[in-house]
Structure 1
Amino acid sequence: MRIFAFLLFFLISYIATAQKTFWASKVVAFSSEYSDAKTTKENRATQALGKPSKLPMVGTSPCAWQPLTQDNPQEEFLIVSFDTLMPIQQVAIAENYGQGCIVRVEAFDEQDNLKLLWTNKTAPSFEMGKMLNLVLTKPTTYKVRSIKLVLNTARVKGWNQIDAIGISQSTTPIKASVNLAKNLPQQIIKENLGQNVNSLYREIAPVISPDGKTLYFTRWEHPENLGKDKNQDVWYSELQKDNKWGVARSMPAPINNTEHNALCAISPDGKTILLNNVYLKDGGMANGVSIAKKGEKGWNFPEALSIKNFKNKSEFSEYSFSANGRVLILTGQFKETQGGKDIYLSFLQADGKWSEPVNAGKTINTADDESSPFLAADGTTLYFSSYGFSGYGSSDIFVTRRLDDTWLKWSEPENVGSSINTSEWDGYFSISALSDFAYYSSRENAIGQEDIFKFKVPESIKPNAVVQLTGSVFNIVTNKPVKAKITLQTMNTADTVCVTFDPETGDYKLMLPAQKTYNILVSQKGFLSFSETLDFSKENTFKELKKNIYLVPIEPGQRMTLNSVFFEQSKYDILPNSYPELDRIVAVMKENATMEIMLEGHTDNQGDWNANLTLSKQRVEEVKKYLASKGVDMKRIQTQGYGSTRPVSSNNSEEKRKFNRRVEFMIIKN
């Protein structure tokens, strides 16, 4: 029985291995590789590693190995190794351009002995490119350590390129394929937004507001653009009651001027926008990115973002930012480029400046150009365009997801499918927080040179769900709006969102990734800080929540519940996650040196009445001790325990009883 189990395990393991393709993972040696003053890693020997980057499409690509010269009378060679050591029965070579110049394929065994696998005895077919499948009549009698390709580039005139090299124990021909997003519908209907948005000119770079009600985009050389050259201006359209887009209007000054203007991203509350280029006071532009904020009288003059060592070698850049405003996603050519234009990250520093751009890594960056990044409201899902992954023609749209908090680890990019990607250039993907419709630029079936389209987003490429939190901040006594700072922090992490509520410019609005728990803190000088825990851990679809917040002025007689002070179950030990709330009380009492307070403890009606009364007294005494340990004079703090005698909610359910278990803070003297 044990022998049978072992044989079954061996057979399953062998079949799994035999069906798997192993792509080259390391360059051992090469005769030459293309390079010039304008390139970095393009067409180097390392571009032949990994899966095909061009096939099943054919044509030239910087993501393939190309020998240094054309039509070399001397033989060229490339030797690559793999993350496995095994007998093989197939070698697959992705010849994406100049196919037909390979004359020999050889293998190195474990002892580095060179073994001939195949000699080319046929004339070139003059196909532009294809997958060359060399299927052996039987598996090699030795384990293959590496593969050597020998090329006679004079056989096929012009440049010759190798996209990838794979090995397998299977006789089924290895094919190159597009890494499609999972479970895409067979057909996705894309809709041209029509003449209210699109014109006979170029409409590109759509940016949908997080609430899905305003669409911003860029128009090229439109007769109503500013400037004698009618360069590019920012336009916008608003969603009407019939769910159709209204007639587009040009953004007012200072957003549009006589130079090139483009809006890249917008904050969840619609009050902050990123703009391409640096706006100069004389009306000119410089390389970089600017930020503009909306005030009482409209958009303020855009201010340049200060990014450390911003030395972009690329003529073009695009930008996006996270919903919390702390991470900038940009494209360009800086240090450590994978080749061409890559996706980089910059992080907001404590001094308000931005860190030096860091390359997002070779999982999402290639030796070809990456462009038009868009980070969804969940802060995890990134859409971008690239020429450097297998697709359907020109630049395609891909989706990837952030895997950790370093922002440097991403999932393998997935193509959003042939219903969206065409043989033309496709890019500038944008999706609202509702995740219902996506918008992008495409040339196929355009009214003019390039148009904006929308489509219903399939589940497999949707971002994670978010919660839209909106509201206002009021003085609890006068019921008048109060300008205040609002901070939300994910429990147990450093992920923070911070906005300023300004009554003059409308409600605050935040987009928060669902399935998390947050602590909200609202503060303003002259008021007690408000703190509360918001639990969205069970939300898995988009949710709108309106939350008005009432701040208590620092005046005698005013009271406030300490929502973020917690204790051990049925004990008076203060839990560590209470310390930030208590530290804020310490700060208020130090700022107001004559203030005296009363701490009142309350419980629900569960359990023994006398025990609850004692527990409520013990808990406020512990709070008093904590405040005293931080330097507050105990004479300024009175305590009182009421047990279950003063409920503020019904005790009929646990959901309601939790409101009765509380510590209240009352100002006796100020």
Structure 2
Amino acid sequence: MKNLIILLSIFLTLFSASAQQIQYASKLIKFSSDLGGKQNSIKRILGKPDCFPQGGPSPNGWTPKNALDGREVIEVGFDTPQTVKQVAIFENQNAGNVYKIAVDNGSGKYETVWTKQIDYQKPYYRTTLITDRSYYFKKKRRKIEEAPEVEVNAGIENVILDQAVDHVVAVKIFFTFAQIAGQKQVDAIAISDSDAPIEAKINTNPAFENLPNPTKIDFGDPEYTNPVLSADGYRLYLSEDNNEQTKIVYSNKNAQGKWEKPKTEDAILNSNPNFNFIEYFGNNFILKGGAITDSNLNETGFEVLENQNGKYISKGQIKIPAYSNFDTTGDATITADKKTLILAIESDQTQGSTDLYFANQKPDGSYGMLQNFGKSVNTPAEEATPFLLSDQKTLLFASNGYSSFGNFDIYVTQRLDDTWKKWSEPINLGSKINSTGFDGSPFYDEQNEILYYNQTTNGKSNVYFIKISKSDLIKN
């Protein structure tokens, strides 16, 4: 009988956890301040958290104008009325600012369900940085008090109510920002019918967590980045930064299957004075980046070099009508038939920062206007280093705009139609690949099912590779 009771208790616990109903705020009702725009606006508070579990400042978090001495109030609604036992507020920068929560059960009136005593002692920021209040960002529309730089202190305020409230349709959150130093950001607001703490989860595939450990290719100094494998699989192209010029080098695979010390590539591949890097290596051509651009000529900085009798001949820069890039360089890849060019740049069409774009080739061989991938992939943060598999549907890329294990993580998404604007929800490649630092520049060797990528931790960049099933990438 005792064993039966234990088993029944475990079952009920598991059932309760699995049956937990969680909703994230889906609509804004009222708010006390908004920066506007696409980055750090009040709209960033809607939906699932994307600044957690990594925490820290992000374009995806709502930044209040009164980060130091003011109080802010937000009212948010949810898609479906539900019983609420818990309210969770995801504060990705300097948490601990919530002091009151009220709920609306459909009556249109708010009932206070939780409060926290405020410490009215002299605010910390006034004793550490006298000039805080006098500084404002230059754009009048985005006036924000600059706060002292302090530790991130991200946290989730999981408030468990004494009594559950039925039929909740909206929640009102009260903040006071004078008690804690530093800038503030809020990522998301959630409700649940359970007292099991609501947590932020990274959208990944369990198969990715069962991968073998990655292997570092130890080339020694200097640092090498941007791995690209030749079509035959026996030469690995890299970018070497010697502080004067980023140049293309290559490493050959020896008879033992090891990569040799990199050697400098031909002058034609290192013709640009500042940056040189290979973005795509096909059977008959290379897509190379780093060229100096002239916006008046619609130059992109990427050029095609065709293989003619073993020598690469430049066909000039790819040009796109009305091309604009707010930076001096970017990332790119291209389909094997050259019909679709994919760019990672920041333009006036951006969702917030560096986005993924595409341009289709016209019958005369030139390319049409840039088109944004859309919100299914691009975030208010950055998307970079795209790599497209041969099916022309499976895309690998790096981003710091999703829930992640660190800074930039590598994700995979699937193209859902021929518009190039509908993509599946990006899946994180897991903690075996992604670190607490930067992970990007993916290159997938489809024949051997090996992923090469660049990882930067503690200021040091290295190239890694890992065995990962093509079927696991595609089925996501």
What TM-score do the two structures reach when normalised by structure 1?
A: 0.60
Q: Which residue of 1 aligns with 2:20?
A: 19
Q: Which residue of 2 aligns with 1:47?
A: 44
Of residues 453, 463, 469, the one that matches 1:452 is 463
Larger Rg: 1
Q: Which residue of 2 aligns with 1:372?
A: 385
Question: SS at the partner of 1:188?
Answer: coil
Report the Cα distance in structure 1 between the residues aligned to 2:251 and 2:390, rounded to whole angstroms: 21
Q: What is the CA-CA distance between 1:368 and the residue it aligns to?
A: 1.2
Question: SS at the partner of 2:314?
Answer: coil
CA RMSD of aligned residues (A): 2.8
Question: What is the percent sequence identity of the aligned residues?
Answer: 30
Q: Which residue of 1 aligns with 2:136?
A: none
- Mapped pair 1:91 → 2:80: no
Matched letter for residue 164 of structure 2? P
Report the Cα distance in structure 2 between the residues aligned to 1:212 and 1:144, rounded to whole angstroms: 58
Report the Cα distance in structure 1 between the residues aligned to 2:419 and 2:448, rounded to whole angstroms: 25
Report the Cα distance in structure 1 between the residues aligned to 2:189 and 2:425, rounded to whole angstroms: 19
Matched letter for residue 276 of structure 2? N
Question: SS at the partner of 2:212?
Answer: coil
- In structure 2, relative to structure 1, the CA distance for the partners of 1:92 and 1:459 (3 Å cut) is farther
Question: SS at the partner of 2:30?
Answer: strand
Question: SS at the partner of 1:19?
Answer: coil
Q: Which residue of 1 aligns with 2:169?
A: 145
Report the Cα distance in structure 1 between the residues aligned to 2:24 and 2:231, rounded to whole angstroms: 41
- Mapped pair 1:264 → 2:279: yes
Matched letter for residue 207 of structure 2? N
Q: Which runs of 4+ in 1 moved over 6 A?
A: 14-17, 124-127
Alignment of 1:138-287 (within 5 A): 138-141=163-166, 143-186=167-210, 188-194=212-218, 198-221=219-242, 230-257=244-271, 258-267=273-282, 269=283, 271-278=284-291
Q: What is the CA-CA distance between 1:95 and the residue it aligns to?
A: 1.0
Question: SS at the partner of 2:460?
Answer: coil
Number of equivalent positions = 429
Q: Which residue of 2 aligns with 1:340?
A: 353
- In structure 2, relative to structure 1, the CA distance for the partners of 1:259 and 1:302 (3 Å cut) is farther
- In structure 2, relative to structure 1, the CA distance for the partners of 1:175 and 1:462 (3 Å cut) is same
**Over residues 220-241 of structure 1, what are the superposed CA-to-partner deviations in whole Å (9 max), with x where a residue is unaligned?**
01xxxxxxx6310111223333
Alignment of 1:384-403 (within 5 A): 384-403=397-416
Q: What is the CA-CA distance between 1:80 and the residue it aligns to?
A: 1.9
Report the Cα distance in structure 2 between the residues aligned to 1:435 and 1:25, rounded to whole angstroms: 44
Report the Cα distance in structure 2 between the residues aligned to 1:412 and 1:456, rounded to whole angstroms: 23
Is the contact between residue 107 and residue 144 of structure 1 (CA under 8 Å) also seen in structure 2?
yes
Is the contact between residue 19 and residue 168 of structure 1 (CA under 8 Å) also seen in structure 2?
yes
**Over residues 459-489 of structure 1, what are the superposed CA-to-partner deviations in whole Å (9 max), with x where a residue is unaligned?**
664347xxxxxxxxxxxxxxxxxxxxxxxxx
Q: Which residue of 1 aligns with 2:102?
A: 106
Is the contact between residue 276 and residue 291 of structure 2 (CA under 8 Å) also seen in structure 1?
no
Matched letter for residue 156 of structure 1? I
- In structure 2, relative to structure 1, the CA distance for the partners of 1:297 and 1:374 (3 Å cut) is closer
Report the Cα distance in structure 2 between the residues aligned to 1:172 and 1:370, rounded to whole angstroms: 34
Report the Cα distance in structure 2 between the residues aligned to 1:378 and 1:435, rounded to whole angstroms: 16
Is the contact between residue 227 and residue 454 of structure 2 (CA under 8 Å) also seen in structure 1?
yes
Report the Cα distance in structure 1 between the residues aligned to 2:462 and 2:303, rounded to whole angstroms: 26
Of residues 312, 325, 331, the one that matches 1:318 is 331
Is the contact between residue 408 and residue 439 of structure 2 (CA under 8 Å) also seen in structure 1?
yes
Q: Which residue of 2 aligns with 1:63?
A: 60
Report the Cα distance in structure 2 between the residues aligned to 1:310 and 1:42, rounded to whole angstroms: 23
Q: What is the CA-CA distance between 1:135 and the residue it aligns to?
A: 1.9
Matched letter for residue 23 of structure 1? Y
Report the Cα distance in structure 2 between the residues aligned to 1:322 and 1:167, rounded to whole angstroms: 44
Q: What is the CA-CA distance between 1:449 and the residue it aligns to?
A: 3.4
Question: SS at the partner of 1:345?
Answer: strand
Report the Cα distance in structure 1 between the residues aligned to 2:18 and 2:466, rounded to whole angstroms: 40
Relative contact order: is structure 1 or structure 2 higher (C-alpha 8 Å, sep ≥ 6)?
Answer: 2
Q: Which residue of 2 aligns with 1:117?
A: 113
Matched letter for residue 413 of structure 1? P
**Over residues 517-559 of structure 1, what are the superposed CA-to-partner deviations in whole Å (9 max), with x where a residue is unaligned?**
xxxxxxxxxxxxxxxxxxxxxxxxxxxxxxxxxxxxxxxxxxx
Q: What is the CA-CA distance between 1:58 and the residue it aligns to?
A: 2.2
Question: SS at the partner of 1:254?
Answer: helix
Report the Cα distance in structure 1 between the residues aligned to 2:462 and 2:62, rounded to whole angstroms: 35
Q: Which residue of 1 aligns with 2:7?
A: none
Is the contact between residue 290 and residue 329 of structure 2 (CA under 8 Å) also seen in structure 1?
no
Q: What is the CA-CA distance between 1:280 and the residue it aligns to?
A: 7.7
Question: SS at the partner of 1:391?
Answer: coil
Question: SS at the partner of 1:300?
Answer: strand
Q: What is the CA-CA distance between 1:210 and the residue it aligns to?
A: 4.5
- Mapped pair 1:356 → 2:377: no
- In structure 2, relative to structure 1, the CA distance for the partners of 1:92 and 1:56 (3 Å cut) is same
Question: SS at the partner of 1:70?
Answer: coil
Report the Cα distance in structure 1 between the residues aligned to 2:170 and 2:19, rounded to whole angstroms: 17
Is the contact between residue 201 and residue 450 of structure 1 (CA under 8 Å) also seen in structure 2?
no
Question: SS at the partner of 2:43?
Answer: helix
Question: SS at the partner of 1:58?
Answer: coil
Q: Where does the alignment leave 5 or more consecutive residues of structure 2 unmatched?
A: 1-14, 125-150
Is the contact between residue 108 and residue 147 of structure 1 (CA under 8 Å) also seen in structure 2?
yes
Question: SS at the partner of 2:178?
Answer: helix
Q: What is the CA-CA distance between 1:96 and the residue it aligns to?
A: 1.0
Q: What is the CA-CA distance between 1:322 and the residue it aligns to?
A: 2.0
Is the contact between residue 255 and residue 301 of structure 1 (CA under 8 Å) also seen in structure 2?
no
Question: SS at the partner of 1:184?
Answer: helix
Of residues 76, 81, 88, the one that matches 1:80 is 76
Question: SS at the partner of 2:165?
Answer: coil
**Over residues 365-392 of structure 1, what are the superposed CA-to-partner deviations in whole Å (9 max), with x where a residue is unaligned?**
2111111111112211111111111112
Matched letter for residue 261 of structure 1? N
Report the Cα distance in structure 2 between the residues aligned to 1:190 and 1:433, rounded to whole angstroms: 17
